[in-house]
Structure 1
């Protein structure tokens, strides 16, 4: 499995630590949605990308995701509409926060906790999106595991059979 990292992810020290924690080869590519996806090599030697099937959208904090739900909501909604409308699955991985911190308004925006929770719940329901919270030091490992098990399950179901010789 090769991790595909969107070219919009800035190559900071934290980014490099995430990649190291993944323990997989990686490539920087322009993903259609999300920040991370993967590619595998099928038994017949054909490379098979999951970039249009499963992706992880990483947010560095409650502040960043609250901005996506307020000022950037239309663009954020279009991204999810486009990807999930074409049959893709997007995970939303949010660092440095959790449900309790959002409920207690422990973030630095004016986005009301009730509205914030409502937006997160609506995204789960509307887009069948899993929302995961973690600390930055765990992000790389979680990204790798999410992609590994999504791909494993899809391959076991035969999702790539039409590409095998």
Structure 2
């Protein structure tokens, strides 16, 4: 790749970094839909970077390669992105620039469940009998003797009648 092409990419990446992501309501609503409420900080960071690349490329009709952009950020020591509403990892040092949140303490009452990365991992957890993160364990119990009794009579089907059946008449 030539130096001019690299400079052009750096300009695009720098523009992407300087874009006011917090002020773009369309991007923020899309990002919240992508992240949902159960994204771990690592997933949220990765998805946020991907969403930024996609949104910026569509909005400005340019090409943004995610892996190259991520390498660009890492080479310049940019902090990990943690979108609003997602708990920051303990080792993160952030400064709330461009959607980055300051470090937060863990919620002791309900820790976020780490989600498996692939279907194969979930299959492995099921086949080995390990618990799947994020799934509540509901005990198998029967409430014997606590069932209610029926108070109404059984409803008759349309072909059932109260009358006794009559003999079929033959036509001669």
Structure with more of its chain in strand, by fraction: 1
Structure with more of its chain in helix, by fraction: 1
**Fold conserved (TM > 0.5)?**
no
Q: Which one has more relative contact order, counting CA pairs under 8 Å at least 6 apart?
A: 1
**TM-score by structure 1 length?**
0.22
Larger Rg: 2
